[in-house]
Amino acid sequence: MHIKRGSFSKIPTESFLIDILYLIGLLSLYRDDDKKRGRPYVYPTTVILRCYVVRIWMRIPSNNCLHQYFSIDVSYNQKVMKACGLDALPDRRTFDRRFKVLPVGSIISAMGARFVTESLADASIVSVDSSTIRARNGHIWHRKQMIQGTVPRPGIDTDAGWGFSATKGWQFGYKLHISCSTGQMVVPLSASVTTANVYDNQVYRGLVEPLPDCIRYVVADAGYDDWKLYDYTRQRAARLVCPIRRYRHTKGERLELIWFYRSRKGQRIYRARSRSVEPLFECIKGTFGISSSPVIGSENVTSYLLMCVFVYQISVYYNCIAGSDKPRCIRQMLGN
């Protein structure tokens, strides 16, 4: 569904948040499977998604506080609740349960595809990378204590893991993985979250698989130098471009990859990485304050971090169809 300016004008302009909540209701980003086994959801996924957007947007610290926010009998709060598609207030435990299982990764991919199909972003060259998110409050769980099965203090996220960064050293927490466009409009196209001890090359396929068929090059750092990834990207009719070492007996196809990476064209394509995914991570982490995770537990962290990516996407999309000159400037929208 392509949102035209005429359709956009029908959204009841109240505030940025309310406009975006109504916009999400107009977009076909996810549809609950009618054939799903078990009792159907009382609240559709898109309704719960909008409730989570409110929590991220308003920096509401917990689901309990979100429930209290909706229960306050104030005109604006009731308008926000209506824009979420709620006729009645769900139980707080509904938020707890549904937020953990929201298919935010699939929704991010659908939103990324919309940017490409509506020619808002160029996906011919895609950049892939990851960034470490520290565990909540910086509390760490040492390796020796992990082996012993002892938790030295409350508040430690026992689902997190240790990962090494070339720039920040060893960190305890999670990784946010993103693929993004590299043209004039840099937006996330797919995303996922793992513990910090998961290698980047293990997540590559999951990031590239939902990308549109128009991709021609995927640029990444040396952590993605894996022959299986080169072969998989070739099957997608694209080429993986990343720093690749030449050894004494290097020959054959690997030597061709080295020649292309070191060529003028290869270097021009690879430079798109430093102008796209690296600044994008800094923008998302700075805008939503997620240099360290505000929640604990693998499911909670995954949903929260991916929701930050989605809120960034939908805010940029809102600015695009609203005709903003700087669609990626969203901090003022969120009051940051």
Per-residue pLDDT tens over the stretch 154-199: 888 888 999 988 778 899 999 999 999 998 999 999 999 999 999 9
260/124 same-domain check: yes
**Residues 138 and 254 placed together within one structural domain of the fold:** yes
End position of a domain, from candidates 232, 263, 279:
279
> End of a domain among 77, 102, 127?
102
92-101 and 45-57 helices, crossing angle to 10°: 100
Phi-psi label, residue 127: left if phi above 0, alpha if psi -120 to 50, beta otherwise? beta
Contact 223, 203 (CB under 8 A): no
61 and 175 housed in the same domain:
no
Establish if 303 belongs to a structural domain. Answer: no
- Whether residue 267 sits in one domain with residue 121: yes
Considering the domain boundaries, does residue 306 fall inside one? Answer: no
40 falls in which pLDDT band (50, 70, 90)?
confident
Are 145 and 268 contained in the same domain? yes
Q: What angle do CA 184, 13, 114 make, to 5 degrees?
A: 35
What is the full DSSP assignment across 62-84?
SHHHHHHHHHS--HHHHHHHHHT
Structure tokens at 28: 């076909």
- Structural domain includes residue 275: yes
Domain assignment present for residue 286? The answer is no
194 plus 266 within the same structural domain: yes
Mark whether 155 and 261 lie in a shared domain. Answer: yes
* Beta bridge partner(s), residue 179: 128, 190
Number of domains composing the chain: 2
313, part of any domain: no
Is 84 in the same domain as 130?
no
Q: Provide the residue range defining the domain that includes 75.
A: 5-102
**Which residue in 272, 280, 278, 275 sits closest to 316, CA to CA?**
280
Select the more confidently predicted residue: 47 or 336: 47
Are 75 and 131 contained in the same domain? Answer: no
Other CB atoms within a 10 A radius of the CB of residue 206 amount to 16
Residue 315 inside a domain? The answer is: no
Which residue from 155, 96, 164, 163 is spatially nearest to 304, judged by alpha carbons?
Answer: 96
Digit-coded pLDDT (tens) for 88-116: 999 999 999 999 999 999 999 999 999 99
Model confidence at 336: pLDDT above 60: no
Please tell me whether residues 132 and 266 are part of one structural domain: yes
Distance of CA 227 to the CA centre of its chain: 26
Q: How far apart (Å, rounded) are the C-alpha atoms in residues 284 and 308?
A: 7
**Residue 300, domain member (yes or no):** no
Domain check: are 31 and 114 in the same one?
Answer: no
Final residue of a structural domain among 279, 301, 318: 279
> Can you give the pTM of this predicted structure?
0.92
Please indicate, yes or no, whether residues 246 and 130 belong to a single structural domain of this protein.
yes
Structural domain includes residue 195: yes
Interior angle at CA 124, CA 308 and CA 253, nearest 5? 110
Q: What is the pLDDT of residue 284?
A: 96
Judged by average pLDDT, the poorest of 3-12, 111-120, 122-131 is 3-12
Predicted pLDDT of residue 38: 67
